[in-house]
Structure 1
Amino acid sequence: MRGIARETGALIRSGALPVGTKLPPVRDLAFALGVSPATISQAWSELRRYKIIGGRGRNGAWVLADRFAARPERHLSGGNYGPGVLNLAIAEPDVALLPPLDVALARGARAEKLNSYERVRILPELEAAVRPSWPYDPGAFLATNGGYNAIYTLLHALVRHGAPVAIEDPTALRLLDILEDLDVPILPVECDREGPLPNSLARALQQRPAAFLFQPRVHSVTGACMSAARLEAVGDLLADTNVLIIEDDGIGDISDAPRISLGRRFPDRVIHILSYSKTHGPDLRLAVLSSSATIVEQIQSYRSFSAGWTSRILQAATAWLLQDGATAALVERAREIYRCRREHLRDELAKRSVEIDAGFGLSVFIPVALESYALVTLAARGIAVHAGAKFSAQQTSAIRVATSILRDEHVKHVADSIALAVDPTREGI
C-alpha cells in the first residue's frame, strides 16, 4: 500500500499524472498490479489524506494537487472579506473584553526552572489554580498549547488509524478538519437543545467507535447548554463500552452554564479539556486537560515528537490570571456583555418573526431555507457569516452567526439582513 501511494505520488509530482487526471478504477488497477482492491483503496486513502487526490466511490478518483501538504480545508476556506465588511463568521472573543497580560507575563517570566529542557506536564501553581473548580477529581493534569492542540495530540496518540470516531453534529469546524486529517470514519451524533440525542448516539455506538467527542458545557456552534439529565443518559449508553470519552470545553467561564463531566463516572477513560483562549486570550495558547495517569502519560509520550511541554511562562501567567481578583471581575463582566449581545440579536429577530435560541456561547445557529442564498444575501448587505455545512458531516440548512463582537449599533441592520436571508420568499424589509 505504501509503495503504491509513494510511486503514485512521485508520478503526480513529476507531472506524469497532471492535476485533473482521472485515475483508473480501483478494480482495474488492482488487477493490473496483481494486488487486492483493498490495497489500492488504502493507498488512495493515504493520498486523499494529503489532498493529493479527491473523489471516491463510483465516481472514481482524480488528481487534485501536485504537492504533499495536509491542509485544514474547512478552517482555511474562510474568505478575506475586506475592511468594509462586518465579519460575524468567526466566533472570537472581543479583544476589548480580555484581561491585560503585561503583569501576568512578567510573573510568568519568573517561573521556576525557566528555560529548562526538563519536560513538565503542568506547573504546580497552575494545577493548584485549576483544581478547585475542576468538575471532578482526576488522576492527572496536563497543560497543552490550546484546546485544539490538545485534541489533535490526544487523537494521534490514542486513536488508531482508520478507527471510527463519533462526534456531535454540528460541531466545531476545526474538529472536523482534525478528524479528516486523521482519515478516520466520522460518525455524526445529532443534537438538540439539551445535547447529544441518545438514539443517535446509540446508533453510532453500534459501529464501535474508538472515541466519542462532545462539548459537555456549551456547544461552541449552537450555544446550546447540555443538561445534567442528558449527560447522565449519555453516560448510561457509554457505560457498557470501552469508548474513549473526550469532553471539550472551549467556551470556559464566559458562559454562566455550570461545568459538568462524566469524569466522576468513568475516570479511567474520560479526557476533559478546558481552554482559556476565550476567557483570557488566544495568544496565551493554553488549555488544561485531565484524565487518568495512564492516559496522560500516553499523550505526553506522543508530545515528545514535537515541543514536549507547554511554555512555563504561559503556564505561570495563566495561573496568576486565574487567581487574580481583577481578572475574575473582567471575565464576569465579559460574560454579562456576551449574554446581552446574543439576547439583543434574539429579541430583534423575534420582532421580525425569526425565532432563535440565544444559547450560552459566542454565536447562534440559525436555520435557513437555503445556505447559499443566505450567504449571498448577507454578503450583499456587508455581513459575513459561516454556512452551517462547515460545521457538519451531513447536509445542513443553517448559518452560524457570531455575536461576540456584535455591537448595539449594528444589531438592527444585522437582524434586518438575517430576516431577509432566512427565506427567499420573504418580502424585503
Structure 2
Amino acid sequence: MTHWLPDIKTGSGPLYIRIADAAEAAIKAGTLANGAKLPPHRDLAFDLKVTIGTITRAYAVLRERGLVSGEVGRGTYVQGGMRQISPSVDPVTSAFGGTRALVPPSGKLRFDTTAAVDVGQAEIIGRVMMEIATEHPSEISSYTRTISPDWAEAGRRWLSQGSWAPDPQNILPQLGVHAGVNAVMAAVTGPGDRLVCEHLTYSQVARSATLMGRRVVLADMDEQGVLPEDFERVCAREHPKAAFIMSSGQNPTTSCLPLSRRKEIIEIARRHNVWLIEDYLYGGMIADGVPTLAELAPDRTFILNGLSKSVAAGVRGAWVACPPHMAQRVRLTQKLVSGGLPFLLAELSARLVLSGAADEIRSRVLAELAVREQAARTLLAGREFRSHPYLPFLWLKLPEPWLSGTFKQAALDQDVLIDDEDEFKAGRSDRVFHHVRVGFSEGRDRSISIAGLKILNRILDQAPTGESAVI
C-alpha cells in the first residue's frame, strides 16, 4: 500500500472533490504510480480527520474519472494503462455541480431521476409538433416576441387548484420550472441578497442562486416541512428578499405543509417583506386539496408548475403566475437570464394542455406511478420510508450502520444510481438525516424498476463491508 496523504487545505469545492483532485494530480505527476494501492478508507479518513463517507465519495469520483479501479475486500488501485479522460473538475463544476456525475455512467439503472414515466406520450407530442410546424412556419423560424393568449390560458388551467385559478394577465410561460425560478429570483433579488431555503430541498435552485451572486440561508424543517418559528428567526436575523418553498410533495421528503403552517409562513413573510417562490411541480400531481401559498397570498407569491414530472420532461413546458404588476418584470429577467422562450416549445406545451392531451398523459403517468409505488411498498415492507402513490420517488431511512453516501456507493457498485441526502442540501448543514431518495419513474418497463428496488432491498440487508465499511 502506498503512503499518500493529500493536502486538503488548498483547492476549492467540497472536501471529497479536493481529495479527488489531489489524487488525480498525484497520479498525473507519477507520485501515485500505475497499480499503486490507495490508502484504505478508514486510514485516510483518520489521517485527514474527515468521515469515511467523504473518502468513499472521493474514491467514487476517481472511479468515474477512470483513474482508479477497486474490488470489495481488495482495495482501490491506480488504473494501469489509463485511458484519456475529461479535464479535471474545474472550480465551477466543483462548487455548483452537486453530488451527481455531470455525465452519468452508462449501463446503470437510473433511480436518480424523477422525469415523467414513458407511457407512450412521444406519439402524441410528435403529432402536435407536426401540426405546429405546418401551421406556423414563420414563427418557428423567428424569435418569440409576443406571448399568445393561449399560452397564458394554458398556464391558468395547469396552475389551477380546486376552485382557485390565477389571473391569465399575471401568467408567463417558462422553459421549465427551474428556469422560471431563476427568472423570478433575478426579478426580486440582487447580488448579495439572501434567499431562504429548507435544509433539504431541490438544491439546484440554491446552487443557481449562489452562481447568480445571491446568498442562501437555511430554515429548519420537520416531517411536515419548514418550521415557522425558524423561518421567523431567519427572516429577523438575515433579512432575506425571497424564500423558495415546495409546499406540497416536497422534494425529497414528500412532506406537505399543513394549512395552519402555510398561514403562519405567509404572515411572517408579510411582516418581513419577503417574496414567496412556490414550486408546485409535485404538488400539482398529488392535488392534496390544501390551498396553495399563491391562493392564500397572491400579492407576494410566485407559483410555478410544469410538465416535466407528469407529462414529458423533454418538453420543458412550465408556467409562473406572478403577483399583480410583476409579470412584465419577470418577463424581462427571463429573457436576460435564459435568452428567451422558444415558440415551438411554448406552443407545444399550450396545445397539450388546451387539447386535454396533457391531462390524459398525466392520468396515465399517475396510474403507472401508483402501481410502482405499491410495488415499492410491498418490496420494502418493514423498511422506514415516506412515499405517495402519485410521486415518482420515495424517501428511504437507512438502518444502522448505513450512511447516506456509503449506501449510495454500495448501490452504484450494484449498477443502481440513487441520490444521497447531500444532493438535496441547499447549503452547509450540521443536520444528518441518514436518508436516500429513490426515484422509480425511469423506463417504460416497470419490471426494470422493480428489479432495481429488489437490488436496493438486498443491499439494505447487508452490513457495509470492504472498502465501504462503516463500523
Q: Is TM > 0.5 for Structure 1 vs Structure 2?
A: yes
**Structure 2 counterpart of 1:411, from 441, 453, 458:** 453
1:39-74 deviations in Å (ceiling 9; x for gaps):
xxxxxxxx99xxxx9xxxxxxxxxxx9978577321
How many residue pairs align between the two structures? 365
| 8 Å Cα contact 1:346/1:355 also seen in 2 | no
Name 1:74's counterpart in structure 2: 98
| 8 Å Cα contact 2:317/2:345 also seen in 1 | yes
**Structure 2 counterpart of 1:390, from 419, 423, 427:** 423
- TM-superposed CA distance for 1:143, in Å, is 1.0
**Structure 1 counterpart of 2:386, from 352, 357, 363:** 357
| Secondary structure of the structure 2 residue equivalent to 1:407 | helix
Answer yes or no: is 1:93 the counterpart of 2:130: no
CA RMSD across the alignment: 3.3
Name 2:145's counterpart in structure 1: 119
Greater CA drift, 161-170 or 96-105: 96-105
> Aligned equivalents of 1:264 and 1:20: distance in 2?
49
Name 1:157's counterpart in structure 2: 187
| Secondary structure of the structure 2 residue equivalent to 1:278 | coil
1:61-210 equivalent positions in 2, closer than 5 A:
72-74=96-98, 77=101, 80-83=104-107, 85-96=108-119, 98=121, 100-109=124-133, 110-111=135-136, 114=139, 115=141, 117=143, 119-120=145-146, 122-132=147-157, 134-135=160-161, 136-138=165-167, 140-206=170-236, 207-210=238-241
Greater CA drift, 111-120 or 100-109: 111-120
> Aligned equivalents of 1:89 and 1:225: distance in 2?
22
Go from structure 1 to structure 2 and tell me whether the alpha carbon gap of 1:170 and 1:148 turns closer, same or farther (over 3 Å shift).
Answer: same
Answer yes or no: is 1:376 the counterpart of 2:406: no
- TM-superposed CA distance for 1:271, in Å, is 0.8
- TM-superposed CA distance for 1:240, in Å, is 1.6
| Secondary structure of the structure 2 residue equivalent to 1:289 | strand
- Structure 2: which 5+ runs fail to align? 1-6, 19-87, 443-447, 467-471
Name 1:250's counterpart in structure 2: 281
**Structure 1 counterpart of 2:376, from 345, 348, 356:** 345
1:163-193 deviations in Å (ceiling 9; x for gaps):
1110122111311221221343322223333
> Aligned equivalents of 2:409 and 2:132: distance in 1?
46
| 8 Å Cα contact 2:196/2:240 also seen in 1 | yes
- TM-superposed CA distance for 1:201, in Å, is 1.4
- TM-superposed CA distance for 1:324, in Å, is 3.0
One-letter amino acid matched to 1:401: V
Greater CA drift, 282-291 or 100-109: 100-109
Greater CA drift, 307-316 or 327-336: 307-316
TM value normalised by structure 1: 0.75
Go from structure 1 to structure 2 and tell me whether the alpha carbon gap of 1:261 and 1:210 turns closer, same or farther (over 3 Å shift).
Answer: same
Greater CA drift, 378-387 or 91-100: 91-100
1:203-239 deviations in Å (ceiling 9; x for gaps):
2212211101011232132222333333223223223
| 8 Å Cα contact 2:144/2:343 also seen in 1 | no
- TM-superposed CA distance for 1:111, in Å, is 4.7
Name 2:321's counterpart in structure 1: 290
State, as a whole percentage, how many aligned pairs show the same letter: 16
- Structure 1: which 5+ runs fail to align? 1-18, 24-46, 54-64, 425-429
> Aligned equivalents of 2:283 and 2:235: distance in 1?
28
